[in-house]
Amino acid sequence: MPKLGMEPIRKAALVEATIAEIGASGSLDVTVSQIAKRAGVSSALAHHYFGGKEQILQAGMRQVLADFGAKVRAALVASKGPRGRVDAIIAASFEVGNFRRDVVAAWLNFYVLAQTSPDASRLLVVYQRRMHSNLVYALKPLIGVRAPDVARGIAAMIDGVYIRQALHGGTPDSNGARSLVQDYLDMCLRDQA
Amino acid sequence: MPKLGMEPIRKAALVEATIAEIGASGSLDVTVSQIAKRAGVSSALAHHYFGGKEQILQAGMRQVLADFGAKVRAALVASKGPRGRVDAIIAASFEVGNFRRDVVAAWLNFYVLAQTSPDASRLLVVYQRRMHSNLVYALKPLIGVRAPDVARGIAAMIDGVYIRQALHGGTPDSNGARSLVQDYLDMCLRDQA
DNA sequence: AGTTTTTGATTGACTCGTCAATCAATAAAA
DNA sequence: TTTTATTGATTGACGAGTCAATCAAAAACT
């Protein structure tokens, strides 16, 4: 055989190229040839390793989700105390890397895909569940029984702020986004409802 | 055949069919033939009246935006007092019609399009600006100088809650969505920051 | 060590389908 | 007859997926 163990290398390159192409086109209308070309291989090889276009795109999506999850996890282990944990989640959500052209494109098209693809929908639910349970776990010591409700509010606001920032042409304002959500959190903590 | 004055009728039918097809496919990957067929005409006629696919899709998007704007306007004229105006905007945003399959699909794909199409981006900015100024106008009597910031928070939360509801399979919970945002508003009003 | 066999890696060429856009032709008002 | 409405047929381009063939290293064998 030629150089052995090419498969994981090629797959990784194709996944990366997939995300890049999605970013370049802004949509999922990317050809397998484009992806393969960017990865430096033939389109036939992409089919050989992934089986079909659908699976290539799915691998790309999964990668974006995984990257995000890793960022949150890293931020959490470096945090201290309940409030620190919430702040870490918020900060990780608005990290500059998340506003990269290709990452934004991946997320938006992920939403679109989630309407019709059970696979995409399931992945999205997993992400939302993890976000929610992370938030609840951090909020419980701070506000007790109100934690689930506040977590829902924070999660929604993170999504809303993210989309607005992402679509707002020009440099995204990570700090502004973060403080908007943190102000909301502060207010919730101050409030006795 | 030609009964005169068909143009506006056909155009309206094609626009409606466009939105329906976008809803059916969940994406902008709809063929002109599909749209034309649903509208009961040939694809050639669609090209004849609109010039090209791009313009057909754009007309569909503009229609969705216009429908939303009309709903908000209607809710505003029927409202009473500052607080009533804010509630009206929130309620209009989560009206059941906005969760229709095709409307959701249109909005999500609108976001996607806004990344790369200056036209779509411009339309989106117009919508956001109007939303913001409506909110500020209603909030000013309630919280004065804090109005712009709170308006930003409410707008973001509306978007975030909407997306979560829209992508959450099953019947959307209009009331739940509304109360989530209204609770946020109540808290802002109660708060002296 | 040298030869042979095996097999992963890789591609160019091809098939089959689809789709946007165009056009020439037809029909019916004005 | 000039204009408006309307379509079937056609075209030209493009893209997913398949396949047979090639290449080169590694393993097996002598």
Model confidence at A178: pLDDT above 60? yes
How far is B5 from chain A, CA to nearest CA, in Å? 37
Q: How far is B89 from chain A (nearest CA, A)?
A: 16
Mean pLDDT of A5-27: 94
Taking every pair of Cα atoms in chain A, the longest distance, rounded to a whole number of angstroms, is 69
Q: Is a pLDDT exceeding 90 seen at residue A169? A: no
Mapping DSSP onto H, E and C, the string for chain B reads: CCCCCHHHHHHHHHHHHHHHHHHHHCCCCCCHHHHHHHHCCCHHHHHHHHCCHHHHHHHHHHHHHHHHHHHHHHHHHCCCHHHHHHHHHHHHHCCHHHHCHHHHHHHHHHHHHHHHCHHHHHHHHHHHHHHHHHHHHHHHHHHHHHHHHHHHHHHHHHHHHHHHHHHCCCCCCHHHHHHHHHHHHHHHHHCCC
Are residues A14 and A56 in contact, defined by beta-carbon separation less than 8 angstroms? yes
What mean pLDDT comes out for the span A30-49?
Answer: 95
Tell me which DSSP letter residue A78 carries: T
pLDDT number for residue B167: 94
Strands (E), chain B: none
Q: Which two tokens stand for residue B44?
A: 């050639």
CA distances (Å), origin A78, targets A59, A73, A142, B66: 29, 9, 19, 47
Instruction: Give dist(CA B185, CA B23) in Å, integer.
Output: 32
pLDDT higher than threshold 80 for residue A192: no
Q: What is the pLDDT of residue B192?
A: 72
pLDDT at A14: 96
Span A111-167, pLDDT tens digits: 999 999 999 999 999 999 999 999 999 999 999 999 999 999 999 999 999 999 999
Mean pLDDT for A46-73 is 96
**Residue B5, pLDDT score:** 82
Q: Which pLDDT value is given to residue A50? A: 96
Alpha carbons A55 and A11: distance in angstroms, whole number: 11
User: Cβ of B42 < 7 Å from strand D?
Assistant: yes
Q: Is the pLDDT of residue A3 over 80?
A: no
Do residue B159 and residue A159 have CB atoms under 8 angstroms apart?
yes
State how far the Cα of A185 lies from the Cα of B120, in Å rounded to an integer. 33
Q: Alpha-carbon distance A31 to A42, whole Å?
A: 12
CA A47 to C1' C7, whole Å: 19
Protein CB footprint (7 Å) on chain D nucleotides: 4-9, 14-20, 23-26
pLDDT at A1: 47
The residues, any chain, with a CB within 8 Å of residue A50's CB and separated by 6 or more, are A11, A14, A56, A59
- pLDDT over threshold 60, residue A7: yes
The mean pLDDT value for A5-18 works out to 92
Spell out, as residue ranges, where chain B has pLDDT lower than 70.
1-3, 193
Is the pLDDT assigned to residue A31 strictly greater than 90?
yes
Which residues make Cβ contacts (< 8 Å) with residue B124, sequence separation at least 6? Answer: A167, B110, B111, B114
pTM to 2 decimals? 0.94
Chain pair A-B, CB pairs under 8 angstroms? 110
**Is the Cβ atom of A28 within 7 Å of strand D at any atom?**
no
The predicted model gives A176-184 an average pLDDT of: 97
Q: Does A95 touch chain B (CB under 8 A)?
A: no
Question: Does residue B8 lie within 7 Å of nucleic acid chain D, judged by its CB?
Answer: no
Q: Is the pLDDT of residue A99 over 90?
A: yes
A5 touches strand D (CB under 7 A): no
